[in-house]
């Protein structure tokens, strides 16, 4: 797999998939506790007509870990794209990956052609002036469980992001077996990203996005308890150009459980905008 070590000592692992004809670039960013292999089905589908770049976040998959914040991550992602001689790109971010995409846009808006958020929004923790996202106690509970139940808590949390109906499918059983062979994210990285999620507030970025010309789409499960329908409505109110597609009966990862519909919906958005 390709690797790039940036000026801050962070060693990034990523995959580049492309067919015979070099097309537009799609960058896929996974969420907390995952890795680039979560996007395998999307890489297979889109690499026929697009250049697909999947990236392991710091401390996840085969990327190493150094103490890093959202701004540093965005700067490093720029370095990866420059090394690959990419220009404008389409970015698809799931959960934490979507938050990173927003920060990336905030610092490097000219890099973006389109943005897609999957179960992602600009502030993950509720506050007095923001009623969406997770409660503080939920995040603290996960932090405490990292200290007592790591690494099993990563799998428990992953399972909780699917609906009961999804967990009863053969597809979910396959995903469970698949994850057993994956590298467990580093505990230090998971803890630091929880700290980042607790503090990050990119609501001002929505204003910059709303004034931009780039098309934005949110692809969301109807039963996603992290990014709820109310949260999606909040995004819609703040992003007039936002397109919304709900996947019925899905939790946090529609791209894992309704693969064909997700890929076709994403393709329609890329072709139409």
- pLDDT band with cut points at 50, 70 and 90 for residue 1: low
* Predicted pLDDT of residue 8: 86
* Token pair listed for 110: 């000219």
At 186 the pLDDT is 97
State the average pLDDT over residues 38-49. 96
How open is the CA angle 94-96-100, to the nearest 5 degrees? 95
**How buried is 147 (Cβ within 10 angstroms: 0-12 exposed, 13-18 middle, 19+ buried)?**
exposed
Position 179 scores a pLDDT of 87
Q: Helices 136-149 and 152-160: crossing angle, nearest 10°?
A: 140
Q: Is the peptide bond before 220 cis (omega within 30 degrees of 0)?
A: no
* Average pLDDT over every residue of 112-123: 98
266: helix, coil or strand? helix
Q: Which of 14-23, 41-50, 66-75, 222-231 has the lowest mean pLDDT?
A: 14-23
What's the rounded mean pLDDT across residues 13-24?
Answer: 84
What is the average per-residue pLDDT within 60-83? Answer: 96
Q: Which two tokens stand for residue 1?
A: 């797999």
Residue 71 CB neighbours (<10 A): 12
Distance CA 214, CA 201 (A): 21
Mean pLDDT of the chain: 95
Residue 234 CA to its chain's centroid (Å):
19
Q: CA 245 → CA 10, 48, 223, 271, distances in Å? A: 35, 24, 13, 16
Among residues of the chain, what percentage have pLDDT more than 90?
92
Query: Which residues are bridge partners to 118 per DSSP?
Result: 94
Q: What is the mean pLDDT of residues 59-65?
A: 96
Q: Is the pLDDT reported for residue 22 higher than 80?
A: no
pLDDT, position 213: 84
Report yes or no: 98 and 121 within 8 Å, Cβ to Cβ: yes
In CATH, the architecture of 3-272 is 3-Layer(aba) Sandwich (3.40)
- Among the ranges given (22-26, 54-58, 59-63, 133-137), the one the predictor scored with the smallest mean pLDDT: 22-26
CA-to-CA distance for 217 and 59, rounded, in angstroms? 28
Q: What is the model's pLDDT at position 21?
A: 62
Which residues, listed in sequence order, are joined to residue 89 by a DSSP beta bridge? 25, 112
Q: What is the pLDDT of residues 137-189, one digit of tens each?
A: 999 999 999 999 999 999 999 999 999 999 999 999 999 988 888 889 999 99
Among residues 261, 170, 163, the alpha carbon closest in space to that of 219 is found at 261
- Across 78-106, average pLDDT: 97
Alpha helices in 48-151 (DSSP H): 70-83, 96-107, 136-149
């Amino acid at each position: 797999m390709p690797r790039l070590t940036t000026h801050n000592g962070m060693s990034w692992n990523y995959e580049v998939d492309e067919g015979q004809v070099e097309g537009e670039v799609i960058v896929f960013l996974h969420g907390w506790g995952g890795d680039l292999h979560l996007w395998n089905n999307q890489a297979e589908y889109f690499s026929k007509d697009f250049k697909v770049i999947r990236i392991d976040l710091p401390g996840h998959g085969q990327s190493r870990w150094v103490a890093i914040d959202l701004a540093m991550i965005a700067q490093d992602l720029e370095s990866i794209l420059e090394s690959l001689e990419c220009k404008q790109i389409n970015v698809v971010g799931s959960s934490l990956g979507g938050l990173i995409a927003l920060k990336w846009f905030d610092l490097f808006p000219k890099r973006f052609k389109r943005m897609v958020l999957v179960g992602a929004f600009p502030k993950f923790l509720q506050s007095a002036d923001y009623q969406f996202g997770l409660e503080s106690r939920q995040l603290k509970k996960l932090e405490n469980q990292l200290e007592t139940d790591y690494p099993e808590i990563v799998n428990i949390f992953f399972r909780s992001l699917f609906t009961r109906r999804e967990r009863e499918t053969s597809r979910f059983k396959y995903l469970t077996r698949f994850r057993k062979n994956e590298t467990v994210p580093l505990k230090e990285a998971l803890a630091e990203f929880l700290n980042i999620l607790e503090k990050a507030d990119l609501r001002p970025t929505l204003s910059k996005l709303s004034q931009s010309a780039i098309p934005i789409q949110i692809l969301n499960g109807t039963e996603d308890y992290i990014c709820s329908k109310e949260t999606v409505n909040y995004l819609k109110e703040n992003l007039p150009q936002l397109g919304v597609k709900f996947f019925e009966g899905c939790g946090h990862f529609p791209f894992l459980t309704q693969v064909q519909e997700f890929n076709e919906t994403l393709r329609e958005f890329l072709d139409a905008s």
